[in-house]
Structure 1
């Protein structure tokens, strides 16, 4: 089906009419993207962020913008323990970007292991309130620890297979964090790799490509237990009185904390052959007709959400962005029907 190249009110048509919107998307301060996410219901954010990441990638600015966001976040944060833990515009962008560029890496790393986990006949339930009366909880806990070890061992072997963009983000996280919050330099890398990438994928295996079918309730429970343990391990957080039945897992954490930290350091160390571009790119890359689906999607959203976006910009007191936004909407007009 041919894409409809409707003219904007400024007379431009097709991709040319979207250059002003693209310019707002790729501004390093992320003010426009923040207004979009603030106006977007959480159920629709993943799709909109996919369009935003696509546009940033076409302009070869995603890494540059994420790095800028990381630097600003560290500067503005007073407590290293909270770094990149909240769902800010920067962390949402990091999550969407990781999902976009890490698809093949994720599947190659974990799909076989998830398949084996699903087919296992071993007991996994460790919560006395949820286990059947005849289940051996000690044996189940040992099974859980064994599978967590298998996941960690698999992941830490994949440094060279990880997308170089992953490692560039990890390096920037560590470089920016270490001088101000030295005790958090591993936590921030672990947060990106596990909290933003591996753990969400494990919890949604069909969507992430780790499973062909929806998991059964029992399989989902296994994934939840493994993902939670991996996330706690990456955070350096041990189990306590709240989940006392998992306290024996702390031995697993002690055994693997150093291994995981070495992995984080390796992920944050770029190959000698890789040249990091430190200078911001200038100008915009010319768009093509193949870009129109993402542009139309974003145009439709901002048009339909303009009132909420204006309210968000007014709340921030960003008069310049507000003026540019109104001018952009006036020039674009109504979104095309495809």
Structure 2
């Protein structure tokens, strides 16, 4: 059994905060520190020209502790999910319908993520999404409202695209997003927001008029938008096969539900609504959230991205709202948008023109391709040595590359000679106490050779806490399945013939702190973990247990022998469980897991009690 913590940190409001990256640094520090149970200290951001009060920050922290049981305890629940998706049951009492009914608006996002990951691991994600989408399409009367709500189907499709399609998104959008960030153009179309003073500060030609600003802005935006659309519409072959198959099935379901020439655009709008409105447009608006950039955009670049996101959204809506909204100042871009809509239909036709109807085989626990560089950048390194005095000169600046197979480094990005550590030899990746070297933002990478008994330690210093957290997270994700992971480590360093953390003199002594191998900054690249995903899903189902009983099991309370009969039917086959409805099978699975948790908790209390008596 394992215990993991899921921590959500939400900045609910802040005012007069002078540095946005300072706030991000605080939140990231708080998140990882809470996960690792360490003390949090916030260095307050202080810009050079800031005067007066620093401002205030309210942070909402949600900590949920999950006890992950051995895999065998989740098999009934997972098997029930698998058989329900493979069955032909489309009724309102099907398990898919029950899951949607039991999800609250607050839990729908997390449930969608866990369900998608469970079915990805089973090779049934596209089949699961097709079931959800079919239900959503069949119960929609007005095609204009199709997938406009945050239903379980919409949320699941959105999460599937992020998990499976993020490398595709990066390949398509990263070059143009990088150029926009580097050029930092002053772009504005809204007459109410044009700042002539700002334009004078950035112009070498003296004063410029409002009309000149609008004309230059239109040219810049047309250039950026054309590049974005060209990159997207030429990316059919780059799109993951699973996404293409999913869109092909969605196209078929919508066409069957809304036939006829009057509904020709509905099947296109359903796909573009996901691909453009929930995938490309949000990534353009906030590149940092989609890992396209390490930092948020400055105000000028953010405005450019917002205007481009609006245009891409209009294209995704097939230009239906052009000329009818309040933002008529966007009209100079309307011809390009309308032209792109015509090309979009051809792109979607080619996107769903895939011959394979078979879903991809089970995904690896990690989503990284071996040849992909996951993370790279300059860091300071030193190898463990029993020295008395450690100065900053003992840390050498090196350029690091991380892939799913190796962690390599050299003197510079273009240096021909590289040293490397095979990822499969990494045993632990942990923080280092600041007092070990009198240096902040440090981590250690513990690795082991095939023939060596002891471990090799490489100490790494990052430039800030954000970079530290990102490297910790990335390294832990690629090494999660390694065979020789360590349960403990030393957060200090071995200096002056002893460990600075526990003062032990034996260099090979067992670590004094437990490792945090599963603590990562949760995102699309997190490895699949069926047990953890099933546990979180169980927690949500447990909270909705009363809804299940009152709505689907009222008046059908069973005796002990009937309950045993239900478990027998549920364990054999979902299709053949005529005596036990999907609701009863789900109830049985929830009860079994609830009893297993109670048994483990009782055993833990007894062990603690026995230990107390012995001491």
TM-score by length of 1: 0.81
Q: Which shifted more, 27-36 or 155-164?
A: 27-36
| 8 Å Cα contact 1:30-1:89 kept in structure 2 | no
TM-score by length of 2: 0.47
Matched, 1:159 2:225: no
Specify every segment of 5 or more residues in structure 1 that has no aligned partner in the other structure, as ranges. 6-11
**Counterpart in the other structure of 1:8:** none
Which of the two has greater helix per residue?
A: 1
Q: CA deviation at 1:275?
A: 4.2
Match among 543, 547, 552 for residue 318 of structure 1 = 552
Q: CA deviation at 1:312?
A: 4.6
Q: CA deviation at 1:19?
A: 1.2
Quick one: distance in 2 between partners of 1:248 and 1:72? 40
Q: Deviations over 1:181-230 (max 9, x none)?
A: 23301111111211222122223312312112222222222222211211
* Cα 1:192/1:185, change in 2 over 3 Å: same
**Counterpart in the other structure of 1:9:** none
**Counterpart in the other structure of 1:30:** 96
Q: CA deviation at 1:332?
A: 3.5
**Counterpart in the other structure of 1:223:** 305
Match among 246, 251, 265 for residue 330 of structure 2 = 246
Match among 48, 71, 79 for residue 142 of structure 2 = 79
| 8 Å Cα contact 2:538-2:590 kept in structure 1 | no
Quick one: distance in 1 between partners of 2:74 and 2:107? 24
Q: Deviations over 1:276-299 (max 9, x none)?
A: 36xxx9xx99x9x96895523552
Match among 183, 186, 191 for residue 268 of structure 2 = 186
- 1:188-203 equivalences under 5 Å are 188-203=270-285
| 8 Å Cα contact 1:168-1:268 kept in structure 2 | yes
Which of the two has greater strand per residue?
A: 2
Matched, 1:176 2:412: no
Matched, 1:333 2:573: no
**Counterpart in the other structure of 2:447:** none
* Cα 1:3/1:314, change in 2 over 3 Å: closer
Q: CA deviation at 1:313?
A: 3.5
Secondary structure of 2:189's aligned partner: coil
| 8 Å Cα contact 1:206-1:214 kept in structure 2 | yes
Q: CA deviation at 1:244?
A: 1.2
Q: CA RMSD in A?
A: 3.3
**Counterpart in the other structure of 2:294:** 212
Q: CA deviation at 1:88?
A: 0.8
* Cα 1:293/1:73, change in 2 over 3 Å: closer
Q: CA deviation at 1:241?
A: 4.5
Secondary structure of 1:90's aligned partner: helix
* Cα 1:312/1:125, change in 2 over 3 Å: farther
Quick one: distance in 1 between partners of 2:287 and 2:188? 20
| 8 Å Cα contact 1:84-1:91 kept in structure 2 | yes
Q: Which shifted more, 215-224 or 63-72?
A: 215-224
Quick one: distance in 2 between partners of 1:234 and 1:327? 45
Secondary structure of 1:159's aligned partner: coil
Q: CA deviation at 1:33?
A: 4.1
**Counterpart in the other structure of 1:299:** 535
**Counterpart in the other structure of 1:17:** 73
Q: CA deviation at 1:37?
A: 4.2
Q: CA deviation at 1:41?
A: 5.0
Quick one: distance in 1 between partners of 2:593 and 2:70? 15
Quick one: distance in 1 between partners of 2:533 and 2:357? 34
Secondary structure of 1:38's aligned partner: coil
* Cα 1:300/1:165, change in 2 over 3 Å: closer
| 8 Å Cα contact 1:94-1:196 kept in structure 2 | no
Structure with greater Cα Rg: 2
Specify every segment of 5 or more residues in structure 2 that has no aligned partner in the other structure, as ranges. 5-67, 86-94, 197-208, 366-479, 482-526, 554-582, 605-615
Matched, 1:140 2:140: no
